[in-house]
Amino acid sequence: MRLGAYLRAFRSAVGRPRVISIAGLVALFVACLYVYLLLAMVWVSTPGLSVSWVVTSTPSIEAQTKPRASRTASKTATPSGPTPSPTVTPTYTPISYTPTPAHLLYVVAPGDTLSGIARRHNTTVQAIMELNSLSSDLLSIGQELFIPGQRADSLPTPTTRATSTPPVSTATPTATYASLASTATAQPTVRAPGAGPPGESLVVAFYYAWYGLDQWKPGKVPDIPAVPYTSKDRNTIVRHVEQAQRAGIDAFAVAWYGPRGPNNQTEANFRAVLDVAGQRGFQATVDFETRSPFFHNQADVVTALRHLIDNHAANPAFLRYRGKPLIFFWAVGEVFTGPGQSPIDAWASIRQQVDPGHNTVWIADGADIQFLRVFDGHHLYNITWNPPVNVNTTLSKWAHNVRSYNASHAANKLWVATVMPGYNDLCIEGRPGRFSHGRSNGAYYRETWQAAINSAPDLVVITSFNEWLEGTQIEPSVTYGDLYLRLTSELSAAFKSSR
């Protein structure tokens, strides 16, 4: 009864039933639209409902073997030149690159144990020991450890020291992990392994493969890589080769201590560089370290060179010039000598034993042109001296020295011109005569390239891709980003087009 009364009252109030149906549908539609808009606003404004991924790339490594002696050249000649050449923008073909995680820097506190640290960071004792090149699990308070797979919140800041020469400029924007990791995803068109570019206008860069993560700490190097690494990490080598190729570099000259010796990582790492180079149409050779800590006499030098020529030089990716494997030699004047032997005589004896037919090309370093009696070419590892000298004069003079030797000996020896971005060995404790030569935000690098081009060299060598201890690296850094790789791309193209 009550329900019927309600229906009759409602019908008399609103009129015909058909009007009720239309009004109800309109009201329902408006209500649904309002609810939908309200939910959409709530979804957009609520944090955590959208996801993004950030990948950082930082490889890893083992402790460095002891640093070699200073490479500062004898100042018997004088090394500055003019301006830039036209910019050349290369095109690249993308390739795949697998980044490895960065690492957290952990400082050991009282009561810490390696197993406890590993447990807290979800890793293993063995992984921490391998990453930090530890031979035992004994720790000391204040010791710094890298933790595998843990992202570092920040990079250490390089220590600056007082110097009589201008400090390194920091005007270039700082690089980020993400921007530098992305540079490993492209490379130029690949050419056949071992084949030089047209005219063989080769650009080579000295390369060092003996770094561990413990190297990248304040006070140890004047700047820090944008992506800290260990030299044995294959992804690191891949990244370096790709960066070099994009910059117009044709080969690395890898500092090499010979094939043997405890903890000698230069042999295994050189093999890895050759392997990566062969896969990517790049080339590699060695910078033969005449006074390797693993050489004790002249016989050791002979044994090492035989191994190099018989094994590595046969690799298609080994650097060739005019069809012959090319080898750089550092500090040839410091070779082991026998009774009554001069250093030149010692090298003549060594070459007679390992390469009597001169089937390889030997490039000497140093301030004595007379080594061309045995060697096939000459270069100066370092053209940045203290006090500063004019690099245009230096390179022109040494080019003249080589050509004068050729004229007087009816020879055809090679002149290899050196370019450098600057120099800073202030972090090498105990080295006499330490100094710094400012980079002037790339201006000095341009100056050395112009001086090299003016000297009409057969090849150009860059000191260096990654000699961080002496501050000559062009590898991307915290201070400069990829400035020096971009400059190298421009300037190497100018050199090659000048031939």
- For residues 217 and 160, state if they share a domain: yes
Which of 113, 147, 181 is the C-terminal boundary of a domain? 147
Is residue 72 a part of any domain in this protein? Answer: no
pLDDT in tens, 321-330: 999 999 999 9
Nearest Cα neighbor of 461 from 321, 306, 335 is 321
Which tokens sit at 479?
Answer: 């201070």
Burial class (CB in 10 A: 0-12, 13-18, 19+), 471: buried
Residue 127, classed as helix, strand or coil, is helix
Instruction: Give yes or no for a contact between 453 and 419, defined as CB atoms under 8 angstroms apart.
Output: no
Is residue 401 a part of any domain in this protein? Answer: yes
φ, ψ for residue 289, nearest 5 deg:
-80, 100
Taking the C-alpha atoms of residue 208 and residue 231, their distance in angstroms, rounded to an integer, is 8
Taking the C-alpha atoms of residue 421 and residue 463, their distance in angstroms, rounded to an integer, is 8
Of residues 201 and 108, more confidence is placed in 201
Taking the C-alpha atoms of residue 310 and residue 305, their distance in angstroms, rounded to an integer, is 8
pLDDT in tens, 228-273: 999 999 999 999 999 999 999 999 999 999 999 888 999 999 999 9
- For residues 300 and 443, state if they share a domain: yes
- For residues 266 and 378, state if they share a domain: yes
Lowest mean pLDDT among 34-43, 259-268, 338-347, 359-368: 34-43
Return the half-sphere exposure (C-beta side, CA atoms, 13 A cut-off) of residue 316: 9
Residue 447 CB neighbour total at 10 angstroms: 22
Average pLDDT taken over every residue of the chain: 78
- For residues 113 and 160, state if they share a domain: no
- For residues 197 and 324, state if they share a domain: yes
pLDDT in tens, 449-458: 999 999 999 9
Taking the C-alpha atoms of residue 338 and residue 344, their distance in angstroms, rounded to an integer, is 11
Taking the C-alpha atoms of residue 265 and residue 258, their distance in angstroms, rounded to an integer, is 10
CATH number of the domain where residue 140 is located: 3.10.350.10
Helices within 429-475 (DSSP H only) = 443-454
Taking the C-alpha atoms of residue 320 and residue 318, their distance in angstroms, rounded to an integer, is 6
Residue 451, classed as helix, strand or coil, is helix
pLDDT in tens, 177-197: 233 333 333 333 333 333 334
- For residues 109 and 194, state if they share a domain: no
Q: Which residue type occupies 270?
A: F
- For residues 30 and 135, state if they share a domain: no
Which tokens sit at 280?
Answer: 């990517």
288-326 burial, b at 16+ Cβ within 10 Å, e below that, comes to bbbebebbeebebbbbbbebbbeebbebebbbbbeebbb
Is residue 70 a part of any domain in this protein? Answer: no
Q: pTM of the predicted model, to two decimals?
A: 0.66
Return the half-sphere exposure (C-beta side, CA atoms, 13 A cut-off) of residue 475: 29
Q: How confident is the model at residue 147 (pLDDT cuts 50, 70, 90)?
A: confident
List Cα–Cα distances, 199 to 34, 448, 495, in angstroms: 74, 22, 12
The reported pLDDT for the residue numbered 71 is 54
Is residue 417 a part of any domain in this protein? Answer: yes
- For residues 111 and 165, state if they share a domain: no
CA angle 293/73/224 to nearest 5° reads 70
The reported pLDDT for the residue numbered 21 is 59
Is residue 209 a part of any domain in this protein? Answer: yes
- For residues 371 and 487, state if they share a domain: yes
- For residues 40 and 115, state if they share a domain: no
Q: How confident is the model at residue 174 (pLDDT cuts 50, 70, 90)?
A: very low
Of residues 27 and 161, more confidence is placed in 27
Is residue 74 a part of any domain in this protein? Answer: no
Quote the domain boundaries for residue 25. 2-45
Which of 147, 176, 211 is the C-terminal boundary of a domain? 147
Is residue 76 a part of any domain in this protein? Answer: no
pLDDT in tens, 216-229: 988 999 999 999 99
**Residue 468 pLDDT > 90:** yes
Is residue 9 a part of any domain in this protein? Answer: yes
- For residues 223 and 112, state if they share a domain: no
Taking the C-alpha atoms of residue 216 and residue 223, their distance in angstroms, rounded to an integer, is 9
Q: How confident is the model at residue 40 (pLDDT cuts 50, 70, 90)?
A: low
Instruction: Give yes or no for a contact between 417 and 452, defined as CB atoms under 8 angstroms apart.
Output: yes
The reported pLDDT for the residue numbered 123 is 84
- For residues 419 and 387, state if they share a domain: yes
Which tokens sit at 314?
Answer: 């046969």
The count of structural domains within the chain is 3
CATH number of the domain where residue 223 is located: 3.20.20.80
> In sequence order, what are the beta bridge partners of 453?
none
